[in-house]
Chains A and B, each alone.
Chain A
Amino acid sequence: MGGTTHSSTDPFPPLLDVSDVTRSFPGVRALSGMRLDLRHGEVLALVGENGAGKSTLMRLLSGVDQPDTGRFLLDGREIRPSGPGHARSLGIGIIHQEFSLVPDLTVAQNLFLGREPRRWRWFVDRRALDRRAAELVAELGLPLDPDAPVATLSVAHQQLVEIARALSHRPRVLIMDEPTAALDADEVETLHALIRRFQGPNTGVIYISHRMDEIRRVADRITVIRDGRYVATRAVSTTSTDEVVSLMVGRAVATSTAPAPTRVARRPGPVVLSVRGLSTRGLLRDVSFDLHEGEILGFAGLMGAGRTETARALVGADPSTGGTVEVRGRPARIRNPAEAAALGVGYLSEDRKRYGLLLDHDVGTNITLAALASRFATAGVVRRRAARTAAQGYVRALGVRTPSLDRPVRNLSGGNQQKVVLARWLARDCDVLIVDEPTRGVDVGAKEEIHQLLEGLANDGTSVIVISSELPEVLRLSDRVVVMSEGRVTGILPAAEASQEAIMRYATLRPENTGTPPPDRDAPGDQYRAGAPEPTAPEHGREARP
């Protein structure tokens, strides 16, 4: 697969030329020979799966991190951004997914944060600040009140403040990372209008998004990256959504969608956990699904689709605004994770350092934490020998590589840390185990061990929910796959019909276009498809593969 690229002897160099950029982290090659070219006056969409390397590339361009090899040329001249401020002064503006606004300050104060107009050197010239903020807002045609504290704005308007701030620096290259993730259709239109107004003959926009419909409207060309590598660039006018999706997931699909050799056909039993209409204030709308005994239910979706939020609301870690949960047919009111655990529902967070481990505590303490009261204590006094023996047993069974139980978990590798938090829930002996990104930051060997462990659990009758951003992992493990997009369930696919293409199609749906989300029917073999943009047989995608 080729792609439109330029040669370096081009008499008219592109606005931004990224060539042969490599960046490795211990154990991971995040970018390898990455390249792209942004032409003058164009909007270039950058697409790729989660973890394809988009964020790494952004970090390099914004100077937060430096490439190992490769170079960036702006108008043919090499630039080496050394930090966000430097990148900005070079003419590269970046709007991150996570806002960098100070909530308690006003819009005007945020717009000029760090470069406030001064008076007598030490004092903020408030009048000048207000005037310039008003000018900026008016010039960009934004519906913003410069005096409003940012905390009082909707997420969409906060996004606009962020964009206004980036534009106020008059960047040559504006990079937007998922700028519409929080916006509704009208606001997306406002944003696109803003991009068109910004765009001149000497500027360019890199637009990172998962939403093909928007890309088709706003972008001129699409560059696809995958696994840290450049894949292809296509003109929007000559490509199709199908082509782009298959380029995105094209990685060795032949091997990763094939059932893993160790896979045994599980025969899931009756419904253990039934969730109906789960909603939260922020994101989730009417999430419904069933989990069967001994089943592995995969949760797929793009960043921010609401998979983690579903798990957290389910176990009561975050408040929900509606919905019912039944555990083994009995209505359950779960207000906090302790109540969830008492019902046999355990949740392992995606962020094991923040929400999983007691980093300074030893392996034994970490393993026995969840089961201390229920299994390892008599009348509130810890039976230390029993706890230690059990912990030792899990260390051995899971192959946690640590010289002793007394080692602080901080000193273990990522894979071993992950096994420790898994062991914690095994010790608690749950009926339902929800694992969120169980192999993130874990090396290949440990990953395989964790996969086998999860499969073993399911074979022994534990019901497992696997939330993962890695489609091959979801496909490898799942009996069925729940696909979410923007806080809703857009499809529930049985393993036989789940392919990377099918999942990506549901994951990129805007739920507004799909009508009511599907009720999950009872039988595990049951299939439901939400209204996909075009009906697609699973074979379709396979034909497109090389």
Chain B
Amino acid sequence: MTATDTTDTVDHPARRGGLAGAARARLQQLLALASLLVIGAFFSVASPFFLTYGNFTAILFSTVVIGTLAVGTTLVIVSGGIDLSLGTGMALCAVVAGVLMVDLGLPLAVGVPAAILFGGLIGLVNGLNVTLLGIPPFIATLAMMLVAGGLALVLSNSAPIYFTDVPGYLDISTGNLVPGVDFPNAVLILLVAAVVAGLVLSRTVLGRHTYSVGSNEAATALSGVDVRRVKIAVYVLAGLFTGLAGILISARLGSAQPATGMGYELQAIAAVVIGGTSLSGGRGSVVGTLIGALIISVLNNGLQIMSIPQEWQNVILGCVILVAVYADMLRRRRRG
């Protein structure tokens, strides 16, 4: 067994897979990107109103909320968990922002970070329930979904809270960083948040451990990694993104709508799944998730422009999810 026979002992088909190693990780994203372009091309041909700058920014703008939630939950899903409390958690964070800044009159610089941190708190509770109490993530966050949705109604007396008297709040979403250039701030915020999440996932110890936990939790624990801390951190991060989404959506609407959160979590999970992240954990990327969120937005936008009734949009979206996930599985199986 000398170093000389290093390559000879490796079987050939496997070697091909190995050479493609780094490129293959990208392939999954390339596929998603390709589908995005195909869908875009289709709508461009089908409707003259699709391929315009105005519509382009409109699509990006409509991706912001789902995108932010989806980026946060990508971390949780890569770790092998799931977070169903994103949607109502977002509504609760928006209400908290309203209570702090409208009812209590706190300034923007305090209210916004506090609302985001409140999202982190929701995530912390989720994380503790999953790790210390050992409640399965689906159930722990399902419970939190109900708790957060209820609290949002309680705190707001079931009425929207309007931010009209909070100076500058609406600009968080709809303003333009460069005056005169029509590019909404919310899109920039999403991009920055996504870059941060992407770096956390790909470059930090926490991120690498997140993949490991999702891939094989028992093996990761036996390797001396404190799995509980990883999981708690991941839920907290997802919570912070929930808080951010709460700010973005309420700034866009000009109000905190306590009853609107439900359902967003499933859209976010759909974006994650379309983006090639495995629901069983260990595999996925923020870039893929962003593309997944964009695919959903483009579909909704394009179908709207083509005057296809709203009712059909979800039917088509459901089919897209099935096709996307099945195509991914096929590719994976062929690779064997």
Is chain B found bound to chain A in the same assembly? yes
Residues of A within 8 A of B (CB): 315, 317, 336-338, 340-342, 346-347, 349, 354-362, 365, 369-370, 372-373, 377, 380-382, 384, 396, 399, 401-404, 406-408, 411, 413, 424, 428, 445-446, 448-449
Pair A337/B222 contact, Cβ less than 8 Å: yes
Report if A358-B224 is in contact (Cβ < 8 Å); known contacts: A401-B9, A402-B18: no
**Most chain B beta-carbon neighbours within 10 Å: one of A315, A347, A361:** A361
Stretch of B43-51, B66-74, B206-214, B308-316 contacting A (4+ beta carbons < 8 Å): B206-214
Query: Do A403 and B7 form a contact, CB below 8 Å, given A337-B222, A358-B219?
Result: yes
Chain B residues with Cβ below 8 Å from A403 are 7, 10, 15, 18-19
Interface residues of B (CB under 8 A from A): 1, 3, 5-7, 9-10, 14-15, 17-19, 21-22, 203-209, 211-212, 215-216, 218-227, 282-283
Min Cβ gap A371→B in Å is 9
- Give the shortest distance, in Å, between A515 (CB) and chain B (any CB): 35
Q: Is there an interface contact between B223 and A370, defined as CB atoms closer than 8 Å?
A: yes
From residue A261, how far is it (CB to closest CB) to chain B in Å?
A: 17
A380 touches B19 (CB 8 A): no
Least CB distance from A43 to B in Å reads: 40
User: A280 CA to B15 CA in the complex, in Å?
Assistant: 45
> Which residue of chain B is the closest to A395 with respect to CB atoms?
B6
Q: Is the interface of A mostly helix, strand, loop or mixed?
A: mixed
B205→A361 contact, CB < 8 A: no
A354 to B226, CA, bound (A): 18
Cβ of A362: which chain B residues have Cβ within 8 Å of it?
Answer: 21
| A-B contact sample (6 more), CB < 8 A, given A355-B218, A399-B3, A408-B17 | A372-B209, A377-B204, A401-B10, A403-B18, A407-B14, A411-B17
By CB atoms of chain B within 10 A, which of A377, A396, A448 has the most? A377
Closest to A358 in B: B215
- Most chain A beta carbons < 10 A, residue from B22, B203, B218, B223: B223
| B224 nearest in chain A by CB position | A341
* B3 engages A396 (CB within 8 Å): yes
Residues of chain B contacted by A336 (CB below 8 angstroms): 221, 226
Of all chain A residues, the one with the shortest Cβ separation from B15 is A403
Q: Which residue of B14, B206, B220 is within 8 Å of A369 (Cβ)? A: B220
Residue ID in chain B nearest A342 by CB atoms: B224
CA distance A59 to B134 in the complex (A): 37
Min C-beta distance of A353 to chain B, whole Å: 9
Q: Which residues of chain A have C-beta atoms less than 8 A from B223's C-beta?
A: 337, 341, 369-370, 424
Pair A355/B222 contact, Cβ less than 8 Å: yes
For B215, give the chain A residue with the smallest CB separation: A358
- List chain A residues, Cβ under 8 A from B212: 358, 361, 365, 369
Which B residues lie within 8 Å of A406 (CB)? 18, 21-22
B221 contacts which chain A residues (CB < 8 A)? 317, 336-338
A349 to B221, CA, bound (A): 11
- Other-chain residue from A356, A360, A399 in contact with B282 (beta carbon distance below 8 A): A360
Q: Across the interface, name the chain B residue whose C-beta is closest to A364.
A: B21
Q: How far is the CA of A358 from the CA of B206 in the complex (A)?
A: 16
A407, B21: Cβ atoms under 8 Å?
A: yes
Given A404-B21, A407-B21, A411-B18, A365 contacting B220 (CB threshold 8 A): no
- Tell whether, in the assembled complex, residue B205 and residue A373 are in contact, meaning their CB atoms are under 8 Å apart: yes
* Chain A proximity of B142: nearest CB distance (Å): 23
Instruction: Give the distance in Å from the alpha carbon of A384 to the alpha carbon of B207 in the complex.
Output: 13
Most buried by A among B7, B208, B212, B220: B208
Whether B10 lies near A399 (C-beta < 8 A) is no
For A373, list chain B residues within 8 Å (CB).
205, 209, 225
Which residues on the B side are within 8 Å of A355 (C-beta)? 216, 218-219, 222
23 contacts between A and B (CB under 8 A): A337-B221, A337-B223, A337-B224, A349-B219, A349-B222, A354-B216, A355-B222, A358-B219, A358-B282, A359-B215, A360-B282, A361-B215, A365-B212, A370-B223, A370-B224, A373-B225, A382-B205, A382-B207, A399-B1, A403-B18, A406-B21, A407-B14, A411-B14
CB distance from B80 to the nearest CB of A (A): 12
- Could you tell me if B6 and A401 are in contact, using CB atoms closer than 8 angstroms? yes
**A-side contacts of B205, CB under 8 Å:** 372-373, 377, 380-382
Q: Is the CB of B208 within 8 A of A382?
A: yes
One of A359, A361, A377 near B211 (C-beta < 8 A): A361
- A356 CB contacts on chain B under 8 angstroms: 219, 222
> In chain A, what residue has the closest Cβ to B223?
A370
Inter-chain CA distance A381–B201, complex, in Å, is 10
Asked if A360 contacts B215 (CB within 8 A), the reply is: yes
* B225 and A338 contact, CB distance less than 8 A: yes
Once the chains are docked, how many angstroms separate the CA of A337 from the CA of B223?
7
Q: Would you call B219 and A338 a contact (CB within 8 A)?
A: no
In whole angstroms, how far apart are the Cα atoms of A315 and B225 in the complex? 12
In whole angstroms, how far apart are the Cα atoms of A409 and B7 in the complex?
15
Q: Complex formed: what's the CA distance from A413 to B5 in Å? A: 15
What chain A residues lie within 8 Å of B283 (beta carbons)? 360
Of chain A, the residue at the smallest CB distance from B6 is A401
A360 and B19 alpha carbons, distance in the complex (Å): 15
**Whole-angstrom distance between the Cβ of B75 and the nearest chain A Cβ:** 15
Please determine whether B216 and A357 come into contact, CB atoms closer than 8 angstroms.
Answer: yes
Instruction: Check if A358 sits within 8 Å of B220, measured CB to CB.
Output: yes
Chain B residue at minimum C-beta to C-beta distance from A377: B205
Closest Cβ–Cβ distance, residue B330 to chain A (whole Å)? 17
The reply to whether B1 and A369 form a contact with Cβ atoms under 8 Å apart is no
Least CB distance, A428 to chain B, in whole angstroms: 7
Closest CB-CB distance, B26 to chain A, in whole Å? 12
Whole-angstrom distance from the CB of A309 to the nearest CB of chain B?
14
Closest chain A residue, CB of each to CB of B2: A399
Which of B211, B219, B224 has a CB less than 8 Å from the CB of A340? B224
CA–CA, A406 and B15, complex, Å: 11
Most buried by B among A354, A358, A449: A358
- A349 to B222, alpha carbons, bound, how many Å? 8
CA distance A449 to B9 in the complex (A): 16
Report the bound CA distance from A289 to B17 in whole Å: 47
Residues in A whose Cβ lies below 8 Å from that of B207: 382
Given known A358-B219, A369-B212, contact A449–B1 (CB-CB < 8 A): yes
* Residue numbers in A under 8 Å from B220 (CB-CB): 358, 369
A381–B215 contact, CB under 8 A?
no
Bound: A370/B6 CA distance, A: 25
Q: Which of chain A's residues has its CB closest to B332's CB?
A: A360
CA distance A449 to B3 in the complex (A): 13
Q: Tell me the bound Cα distance from A66 to B44 in angstroms.
A: 60
Contacts of B9 in A (CB 8 A): 401, 413
User: When chains A and B are docked, how far (Å) is the Cα of A247 from the Cα of B226?
Assistant: 48
Which chain B residues lie closer than 8 Å to A402 at the CB level? 10, 18
B224 shortest CB reach to chain A, Å? 3
Does A381 contact B209, Cβ atoms closer than 8 Å? Answer: no
Determine which residue in B205, B222, B282 has the highest number of CB atoms from chain A within 10 A of its CB, and name it. Answer: B222
Contacts of B14 in A (CB 8 A): 407, 411
- Rounded to whole Å, the gap between the CB of B10 and the closest CB of chain A is 6
Contact B224 A428 (CB under 8 A): yes
In the complex, what residue of chain A is closest to B225 when comparing beta carbons?
A: A338
Q: How far is the CB of A422 from chain B (nearest CB, A)?
A: 12
Residues A407 and B282 in contact, CB atoms below 8 Å apart: no
Cβ contact within 8 Å between B203 and A381: yes
Within the assembled complex, what's the spacing in Å between the Cα atoms of A280 and B240? 41
Which A-chain residue is minimally distant from B20 (CB atoms)? Answer: A406
Residues of A within 8 A of B204 (CB): 377, 380-382
Q: Assuming the A-B contacts A358-B212, A360-B283, A382-B208, are A407 and B17 also in contact, with contact meaning beta carbons closer than 8 angstroms in the complex?
A: yes
Say whether B219 contacts A357, CB under 8 Å. Answer: yes
CA distance A23 to B5 in the complex (A): 30
Given that A399-B1, A407-B17 are contacting pairs, would A346 and B216 also be in contact in the complex, using a CB cutoff of 8 Å?
no
Most buried by B among A354, A373, A413: A373
Asked if B219 contacts A354 (CB within 8 A), the reply is: yes
A382 contacts which of B1, B203, B219 (Cβ < 8 Å)?
B203
Bound state CA distance, A381 and B209, in angstroms? 12
Q: Which residues of A contact B225 (CB under 8 A)?
A: 338, 369-370, 373
In the assembled complex, the Cα of A413 lies from the Cα of B9 at a distance in Å of: 10
